[in-house]
Chain A
Amino acid sequence: MHIVVLIKQVVATTNVKLDPETGTMIRDGVESILNPFDEYAVEEALRIKERMGQGKVTVVTMGPPQAKEIIRKAVGMGVDEGILVSDRLLAGSDTWATAYTLSQVLKKIGDFRMIITGKQAVDGDTAQVGPEIAACLDLPMIAWVRKIESISETQIRAERLMEDGFDVLESPLPAIISVVKEINEPRLESLKGKMRAKKYDPQVLTVADLPGFEVSQVGLKGSPTKVFKTFTPQRQYKGEMIAGEPAQAAANLYEKIKTLKIV
């Protein structure tokens, strides 16, 4: 059973800073890591392979050449192969253009039975790419999987995390799932894995390697999302000091609370 895990390189901070001039993310001096939710996706793929006693796990990422690092991290954890799609023509792609590109890569891979993604990437926080790929490839999708109850070559039964509990869903394979952090505890990179990863050079694809690829669908121009303005909201701290003797201040505060109908 061939499982493909879609992974993304993100900056190692939840405090993303934007360049006010260009509206793009400031990456300088910020460490890049594997999107934390994707670690759960990689772990789950490895567990499925181990549970089934055979199979292959491939990770795919779209990004700049430095994104090879997260492929190496996944190799350290034990995945078999990694593919990087990297092309200047892809720069500025939104979630749809990304989903289109990854779908073309998945078509080229062809023999997968399952696609796993993390719930969302911690930088964009859209959670869109997975469902969009499902649409591109016309595959069933189970999002927010917190547990795989059973899996075979042709069928999956999984629990989908909901706000008020969980759903149990079944789907034929091939299918795509996205996983939440409740699903497992990702393993550390093993020593042998790290040694293999150090020497591992992932396959790099450009759009020219993808048959029938329509360049008009990607890049800044091909992306339906148009960014007009980005800004970091200014935090407003509008506190009011209630001065005076403690007893008087307390009485004043109580009056305020009462007029605001807090109590």
Chain B
Amino acid sequence: MNKKEWPLWEVFVRSKNGLEHRHFGSLHAADADMAIENARDVYTRRSEGVSIWVVQSSDITASNPEESGELFEPAKDKVYRHPTFYELPDELKHM
């Protein structure tokens, strides 16, 4: 008997139009069509969604937490990217 496991899929659901698809979880399915059907049953039993994306988990490239330093450190000292960096008088309104 074929002992191949069904691949793992990541499920993204748009809960209503106007909102982005958000990661909801994962599930196993033999192919993409089945993944969407299973996602409907597993993640939207109470009308939690209007649209589903599925992507095979093995197709996702993730950043490595060990390298978070190199990756995210450069943004840390750039306070001038935030509005609060700029010193303006209190009486200035609407800015």
Q: Do A and B bind each other?
A: no
Interface residues of A (CB under 8 A from B): none
